[in-house]
Structure 1
C-alpha cells in the first residue's frame, strides 16, 4: 500500500522534524549565555586566528556546472587518501550549501574516485529498495524523489545532483551508487515493503518468536504502523515493539551483522526515537548511534572496496562533540563522534563542515525565509577576508602543525548558531560561504 505524496510529505515533516531540530529548538540547545559571548577575548585569538587569516584558500564557484576543478584541488589534497568524506550543512534550508555540496560530489566522484554517496536517509529504502530498481534515468529520478527527505528532493538546488548527475553516471563505467544510513524507515519504499521483507527474512531463520501469536498479531502490525506513522504518540505500542525487536535480535545472534539483523536494530531504534521525540537529547543520541553503526556496516559489508561520500547535517558528522565544546549542553554523541571514536575510522575519514557569514535560509517545508544569525565579532566567520565569496580552510593541517592546541573559539557550526568549541577537533576542514541563500522549492 502506497501513501500519497501529500500524506508522505506531512509524515516526513512530522517525523523528520521530531528529531531534526528547528532553529528555535537549536537555539535552546546551542545558544550560549550572553556573559560567555562577551568575555571570550582569551579564546581563539592566537594560533587559530592567525592560521585562518594566512591559510584561507579561495574557491571560485559553488555552481554545479562549474567544471574547472582547479580551485578544488586544495580540498582534494587535504582529503588525501581518505576513504570517507563527510559533507555537512549548517541547516536543511541552505540552498547555497546544496549547490556547493553538489559540485564537491562531482569533483570527488570524477577526480578522486568516490563511487558511493551515502545520504542521511532511509536505511531500508536506500539499500534494499535502491538495489532493486532499474538504473535508468526516469526510474532513478522517481526513486530518489520518493525515498529521500523532502528538504532535498523538492529543492531546486539539489535537482542537478538527484535528477541529472546521479542518473547520468549510469551511462558511464563509474556509476555513483546510492545508499542511506538513517534508522528512520518511513519513506515511500518502507511503508510498502518493509513488513513483508522482515517477515520473509525471519521465517527463513526459523527463530522461536516467529512461531508465536505475538509475532503475527502484534509485531508485524507494529512494524507496519511504525513505517506509516500510526504509532506516533502511542508510547505503549512503541515500547512493546522495542521489546519484541530486542527479543528477535537476541534470537538472531548467530546471524549478527547480516543486513536483516541490522534492519531489526533499526526498527527497534526508530521506535525508541519516535517514543522519546520530546526528549531532544535522548532521541538525537539514540538515532545517531544507530546511524554510526549503519555507516560502519555499509563500509565493512556492502561497500568494502569503495570510497564513500556522506551527505548529512553538520551536527551529524561532527567529531569529538562530547569533548570539544565549551558547554555541557552542546556535548552530544552525534554520528560522527561515535564513528570517529574508532581510530581506524577516524584515520580514514575527512569531515568537511560548512559555515557562512550572513544571508537567509529556508527549507522547502517552511513558508518564508529567515535571516541567519550574525557571527560574533571575534568569531571564525570574521577571520575570513571579506574579499572571499567562497573559501576553504584546512583544520587538519592546523592540528598537525599545532598538536597541543586545545583552545575554544566561536563559530556558527550547527544551525547558524554561535557556539564555543575547539572546532578544529569537530571538523577537519570548513567550506565557507559568505552569503547563504535559501533553498527554493521546485514546482
Structure 2
C-alpha cells in the first residue's frame, strides 16, 4: 500500500467563467384512466415561483393516459409546485363520486437533494420523475486534464455559476458503476473544489494508482453531469520499503536508513527533495534532507532493487517517535509526483545506556593470592555482558541477570580499571 502526500509544490489554475442562463431540466410523468368511471377528468400543473411551467388536462369515458413531458430550460426558481386534479363519476349509481385536488410545494434545494414531488388521485397520478440543473464540469488543469500526479491537488470546476450550492454536490467513484461517494463536506457544495486523492481515498489510495477515478455532480444514484475520468498516477519512482537500522548504543548515530525503489530514475528525472519526517502532523520538520539533487540510485544485488542511502545520520531523532520518508520527483526540472514510502513507519529508539556499578569487593586472603573478587550490578544494557579488568576479558560468575562476580583477582595497590560491555559493545567505564 502506497501513501502519498503534498510537499510544497501546488499548481494553481485560474479560470473565470461568465455566468449565463442557469436553467433546470424537469420531466413530469403522469398516467390516468377512466376505467370504472362513467365520466372522468384528469389534469396537472407545474409551477415555479407561481409561474406556470407546464400543464395537462383531459377528460372523457375512454381516457387512457401514460405520458411524460420534459422542460429543458426551466429558470432558476426558488420553489416548485405541482398541482393535480381528477374526478370520476362511477359507473355504479350507488357509488360515491370521487373528486381530488392537491397542490404540493418543494424548495429548489429539496428538489436538488432528491425530494419527491408527486401525488395520486381518483383515477391517476403525476410526479416529477427527473430534476437536474443544466451544469457541466471540467478539470482546471488544461495542460493535463485527464491525469493527476500523486501529491498534487486536483482543482475541478462546475459551470455556469449561480445555482444554489447544493447543485455543486461532488461525488467520486472508483468503478464508474453504482458506487458513488460524496466528496468530504469541507470540500463539497462549491463550484470550484480542490483536494488530493489521498484526502478522498484515505489509507487505501495507493491501491488505485494508474487507474481512473471518476467525478460528477449529483446525489446517490442521480447524476447531474457526465462522469469526468482522472487517472491517478505516481509520476515518480515508487518506493517499496525502508531498511532502517537503529543506533547500537545510547547517543550513537543511526546505523542506516535506505529506501528501495522498484525502478531506477529515468533520463531527466531526479528527486529534488527526499527526507525523513515525523508522522506526528504537529512535527513536520524535515530530517536528513538532501542538499543536492538525487540523480541516480544504486542497484542492490541482494534485492535487485534500486537503493538510496541517507548520508550523515548523526542527527538525533525524538526518542519513541515514528518516522517515514517523503520525496518529491521532477522530470526535466518540472515538479512531478510527491510520495511517501508505503511501509509502516519506523520507530526511533535510543538504546538505554550501558551502566553498571560496583557493589562490593573482597581482598585476596594472602599476599600473592588470586582469590580477590569484585561484585557488579548491571543498571542498564542488553544481555549478554562482557567484563574486562585492565582491558583483559575476564569470566564473571553470574548470580542473576543483573548481578555478577569477577573472581581470581590478586592485590593491586593501584586498583583495577573495570569495563563492562553489552551485546552491542556499548560501554561504561569506571
TM-score norm. by structure 1 comes to 0.20
**Which of structures 1 and 2 has the larger relative contact order (alpha carbons within 8 angstroms, sep 6+)?**
1
In terms of fraction of residues, the more strand-rich structure is 2
In terms of fraction of residues, the more helix-rich structure is 1
Which has the larger Rg? 2
